[in-house]
Amino acid sequence: MRTAVPRLSILACIFLSAAFLRGEEVSTDWPHWRNADGNGVSNEKSLPLGWSEDLGVVFKCKLPEWGDSSPVIGGDGVFLTSHAVEKQLVLVKVDKATGEIAWARKIGQGSAERMPIRGKNESERRNQNFHEMHNMATPSPVTDGRVVVALFGSGDLAAYDMEGKKLWQRNMQAEHGQYTVWWGYGNSPVLHGDLVVVVAMQDSCADLSGKPVESYVAAYDKLTGKPVWKTIRPTEAKREACDSYTTPIVRRIGDRTEMIVHGGQVLDAYDPATGKRLWHLPGLVGVRPVSGPVAVGDTIYLTQGMRRPMLAVRTTGKGKLTEKDIVWTLEKGACDCPTPVVAAGRVYMVTDNGIAQCLDARDGRVLWKQRLEGAYKASPLVAGGRVYLTNTDGLTTVLAASKKFKRLAENKLDDTIIASPAVGDGKLYIRGKKQLYCIGK
């Protein structure tokens, strides 16, 4: 089901036209989680190779409590969110030049309720509980250099300008129903043109008494927050298998733009302007995927979830896709949390327990496989012929982005790191639980 509502207000149109006529150019070094296309690849050629707490650190910015959201970069700021003291949900802008907090805005408040990681009974399934490794500040913000949008596990969605002035705010749970994702909402919003797109992929509770819960994809006007479209996202998955913590990615293929969504044992694509579903691949077998999809050309690479097989899917068709659209399958060794990165015809990935692999992107052949130190939640980054992999203890291993395993450096920071890195102006931004690090030469 798709519900259409009016698009842009007259005021928003005037605002956009004025900005266009002024010829404004805005720097958006790293606007989304894992860059503009969500692929974790940077064109930077001169990122630092070695650093430590005492070497190569341009600045360290102490953060207001913690969160797992990755930093994004636009204009003169680095933006991230925190679940701060007194249950406050905060959007933070860090000045790129000084490393100081330029402003922090309280968007809402909430408590990340927790319970042991186990199966849920009927009453527990209609409420989200948070895994101990994350809280309500897990979704990463998104920016176009003029507007920054933040979303929290409370359902609070808000937009601000670069000076910290609030443009609008909504609450997804108030409008669309309480989240039923088992271990805490974690999907990041996406910007596409004039739209902010959010997803909710959650337990349908269809086997329980009472009204089933809908999963959905919804879009809002970037400048006014007005609803533009909402599409209900059907799935045949049950219980926790309905859940997904992945973030949509947008790609241009042929003569159209597609927004790719993965979760609920379905991979599908939507027209981001209208919410129309373009194609879908049902019948996936994973549960609650955390590792998101990656699109390169006409192929999408994804892990089905809960360490189930990894797939490469060629998606040139429309409507329902089938097994014949699956190019190759990696049966064992797929990652769970970190999202792979694809560059120069190779797939680089790391499992939660530190098994790094390089695959041939064409056929899935394993080119090399090596155990690294520690546990991993952050997704890898490729830049300047190198692969950067950061473990939860703050150790970043830098490898050559090549067909053969070659370790170039190991760099240690004194922080716990879950978030994925961001890149801008030849610098690497790493968000820990305590501090935001800016690493330069």
> Which pLDDT band holds residue 134 (cuts at 50, 70, 90)?
very high
b/e map of 162-201 (b: 16 or more CB within 10 Å)?
Answer: beeeebbebebbeebbebbbbbbbbbbbbbbebbbbbbbb
- Is the full-model pTM beyond 0.75? yes
Distance of CA 406 to the CA centre of its chain: 28
Kindly state the average pLDDT of the residues 345-366.
Answer: 98
Can you tell me the distance from the alpha carbon of 299 to that of 313, in angstroms, rounded to the nearest whole number?
5
Distance from C-alpha of 285 to C-alpha of 303, rounded to nearest angstrom: 10
Burial of 101 per CB tally in 10 Å (0-12, 13-18, 19+): middle
Report whether pLDDT(316) > 90: no
- CA 14/CA 396 separation, integer angstroms: 46
Comparing CA positions, the residue from 25, 42, 24 lying closest to residue 34 is 42
* CB burial of residue 158 (10 Å; 0-12, 13-18, 19+): buried
pLDDT at 324 over 80: yes
Q: What is the dihedral of CA 225, 229, 234, 238, to 10 degrees?
A: 10
pLDDT in tens, 165-193: 999 999 999 999 999 999 999 999 999 99
All structural domains of the chain? 2-439 (2.130.10.10)
Give the residue, 240 or 24, on which the prediction is more confident. Answer: 240
For residue 285, is pLDDT > 70? yes
Cα 302 from chain centre: 14
How would you label 35-74 residue by residue, b for 16+ Cβ within 10 Å and e otherwise? beebbbbbebeebbeebeeeebbbbbbebbebbbbbbbbb
